[in-house]
Amino acid sequence: MTQPYVVIMAGGRGERFWPHSRIRRPKHLLPIVGESPMLAQTVARLEGLVPPERVFVVTNHEQREATLDACPELLPEQVVGEPVGRDTAAAVGLAALLVKRKSPDAPFAMLPADHVIDDATGFRDVLRSAMSAAAEEEILVTIGVQPTEPATGYGYVQRGGIKMAADNRQVHDVSRFVEKPDLETAKGYLESGDYFWNAGMFVWRPEVILNALATHASDLHQHLSVLEERWRDGQSLDSCMQTIYPDLPRISIDYAVMEKADNVVMMESDFDWDDVGEWPAVTRHFPEDEAGNVTRGEVVALDASDNLVISSKGRLTALLGVNDLIVVETEDATLICHRDKAQEVKRLAQEIAQREDGENWV
């Protein structure tokens, strides 16, 4: 197998983790879980699978310098900043061009920057097998995560029949992708055993995914072809992106390709996984006190239960007689909300951004 690559998508705004997460330093550049930025944890998890010189990060222009600070093992040319966000299909197409320029036949993995995976060895083993499969066949591999609960916040992949084996791991056809279900539907998925969480982790070769984009997202592919031609003719990548990227259609890779292509397959994972999508998910990764409170920093909780409290360094946060709250305190902003409202923190951050001085707070 040609030496593989990994491209990490790290361009999100992380609004669900406001006020810790800000536009210039969002969730993946923060130690939301663990002691180092989540992006740095993702890069470190690759050790033994690919060396740092075969890792790219696709981020946005505003976060590029902070990304380089978080990942000092990466060279500046390995961190590419999109001038404008155009969702994951554009990021995937750009990633394919980056890898193709280095090694046209190399399988590469597309990974989110902000997942929590403790079993790094199991993670690498699954990716290695997926890379072997992608090197052999013209397939688009998605990694399916075995669900542990009837989650309504994730999309799902329905497993089909066995297509092949790679490194003694089965590779299944994909019957369909499904959107985030309601609770009863999610319970049915869990009971069936044929549905897996769609974790947004993919493996393929450059030409295979580019051909899929040409077939199913021709407008995007045409713009990427122009970008590639100008880059090949000597223009800098940044210059090419500045002129072409704003015209790219905004669409996810799931909608653009994965839900339409007939060569999509799934490899089951056997490692732990959590995308930590909003503040309450943090409580899964830290111990509770006797009253069910999860705290970080200097916190005193009296007659208070089932709260998540995160206090910034050098400040004390005290709770008295309150339950089921999320309290996140930073140097310049404080969030207080009921746990049931956690999904609306993104809307709150967007509302703050609309203020006359909103840019100071987001």
- SS3 of 217-231: CHHHHHHHHHHHHHH
* Count of CB atoms situated within 10 Å of the CB of 303: 10
What pTM, to 2 d.p., does this model score? 0.94
Provide the pLDDT for residue 321: 98
| Cis amide linkage into residue 246, ω under 30° from 0 | no
User: Are the CB atoms for 274 and 111 separated by under 8 Å?
Assistant: no
Q: Is the pLDDT of residue 257 over 90?
A: yes
Q: Is the pLDDT of residue 288 over 90?
A: yes
Q: What is the pLDDT of residue 1?
A: 80
Say what the pLDDT of residue 358 is: 77
Cis status, amide bond into 147, omega within 30 of 0: no
Q: Where are the domains of the chain?
A: 5-268, 279-360
3-state secondary structure of 268: strand
241-253, pLDDT tens digit by residue?
999 999 999 999 9
What mean pLDDT is reported for the chain?
A: 95
Note the pLDDT tens digit of each residue in 200-237.
999 999 999 999 999 999 999 999 999 999 999 999 99
pLDDT digits (tens, 9 = 90+) for 304-324: 999 999 998 888 999 999 999
* Contact yes or no for 130/253 (Cβ under 8 A): no
3-state SS assignment for residue 67: helix
Amino acid at 119: D
Read off the tokens for 288.
Answer: 């509770």
Mean of the pLDDT values across residues 15-31? 92
Predicted local distance difference test score (pLDDT) of residue 161: 96
Helices (H) and strands (E) in the chain, counts: 10, 15
Q: Which of 207, 185, 201, 323 is nearest to 266 (CA)?
A: 201
pLDDT of residue 153: 87
- Indicate left, alpha or beta for 232 from its phi (over 0: left) and psi (-120 to 50: alpha): alpha
Q: What is the mean pLDDT of residues 40-46?
A: 97
Q: What pLDDT is recorded for position 245?
A: 97
Band of residue 187 on the pLDDT scale cut at 50, 70, 90: very high
Count other C-beta atoms under 10 Å from residue 198's C-beta.
22
Distance set, CA 323 to CA 168, 266, 286, 308, 317 (Å): 49, 42, 18, 10, 15
Question: For 53-88, how does the pLDDT look when each residue is reduced to its tens digit (9 = 90+)?
Answer: 999 999 999 999 999 999 999 999 999 999 999 999
Do you know the residue count of the chain?
Answer: 362
Confidence of residue 143 (pLDDT cuts 50, 70, 90): very high
The CATH number given to 5-268 is 3.90.550.10
Backbone angles phi, psi at 282, to 5 degrees: -60, -30
pLDDT of residue 337 exceeding 90, the answer is yes
